[in-house]
Amino acid sequence: MFKWAQQQLANAVGTEEPIYGPSAIQSVAEDAKSTPYTELTRNDMKWVAMTSTSVETLSFYLMSDSGHLALAQVIYSNVAGIRTTCQFNTKIFYPDGSKPHLWSSNPLSEHEFSDDKTAFYAKDCAVELSEDGKSYSIKSMNDQNAIVNLKIAQSSPGFVVGKNGYSYFGTDPKNPWGSIRHAFWPRCVAEGTILTKDGPIDFKGKAFLSFAIQGMKPHHAAARWNFVDFQGPTHSAILMEYTTPPSYGSTTVPVGGLAKDGEIIIGGASCSITHTKTLPDKETGWIEPAESKYVWKGTTKDGKAVEATMEVDLEKRQDRVDVMEEVPGFVKSIVAGAVGTKPYIFQYIPTQKAATLKLKIGDEEITEEGKLFVEATFISGMEGSN
């Protein structure tokens, strides 16, 4: 009863949670042992629009043929069922750091969903899923510094890890009090432009989509996040990994997959991210990665063993985002009062040396160079920091 009361207090005011232990998270990695992944249908891309504390994020990562990399993102957030806030974010990285990155983050008003919850609308913003469920159009005019007009279409099917992509949080598995789900389109083609003050940027190229649903406070769900998006001429490799706070046993949950045009090679939770070399960031106190190793393992539909690796020198970071300064006010209210919460996102785009994916499918060995975008996010728990 006391733990239940502590949980209610944590839900209401954002305090640190008690220690429930690893048994209080039902990781999708367990589900993936019997069902590594499930291909997505149009119905799987519906916004949930939860009425309790939650954050839903639809993110499009673009790697243009011209060398530009961009993020276009809608965030839908509910704070304790009291207030709903929506935001549209755009970020553009210029080739080889030739110009400072462009960052645009604007609150949205008059938001609504289509009747079937597959399209999001707000004043000067529309993100619509096609009737066949295989492409999105993204239009935003809420910032004249970054007018977005893009289309993202699947090159391979989308997927969730496990049966439905969800990890559940709570001491009673039948009545969880929180959840996290990621749905991916691992390999897409992009077309369209983002119009800046300097003119339009053509984003014809490759893309990746992540649709994330966090049915709880972000800093209660995870203390760390790692993310990698590799897009090569014929293969894509994506990996998202989070580690819970000690309240849920500092449990690591990896989800990822490999794809090529027309098919998913593997998807599942048998993947990992290891920071093989780190450096102290004196300004934040966090230990940021300098070199990383990524591993994917699985079995194809026809029974061939698959293993892929990528070892990367992350080079100089492209940006360090102070989440408490950059994101909208709802996040500040969500994490207010949390003990040890100090969220920063470190972003990397290695350019001096191409990222190399080494892939083995059965007896076939493939080596492919491509473009890479990496994030390491630190939220809470300063152990091991500078």
Query: Which pLDDT band holds residue 8 (cuts at 50, 70, 90)?
Result: very low
pTM: 0.92
State which fold the 22-378 domain adopts: AttH-like fold (2.40.370)
pLDDT of 327 reads 52
The least confident of 142-156, 193-207, 328-342, 346-360 is 328-342
Angstrom CA distances, 13 to 51, 217, 336, stand at 17, 10, 7
Neighbours of 139 (CB within 10 A): 17
Average pLDDT over the chain, rounded to whole?
Answer: 90
Residue range 53-63: mean pLDDT, rounded:
93
Percent of the chain clearing pLDDT 90 (strictly above)? 77
Nearest CA to 215 out of 105, 60, 53 is that of 53
Closest CA to 164 of 17, 345, 35, 356: 35
Q: Which residue has the tokens 């894509």?
A: 236
* 263's tokens: 């098919």
User: If phi over 0 gives left and psi between -120 and 50 gives alpha, with beta otherwise, what is residue 117?
Assistant: left
CA distance 77 to 48: 11
Q: Which of 5-19, 53-67, 238-252 has the lowest mean pLDDT?
A: 5-19
Handedness of CA 121, 196, 149, 182 (dihedral sign): negative
Find, among 167, 166, 171, 168, the residue nearest to 18 by Cα.
171
347-366 mean pLDDT: 94
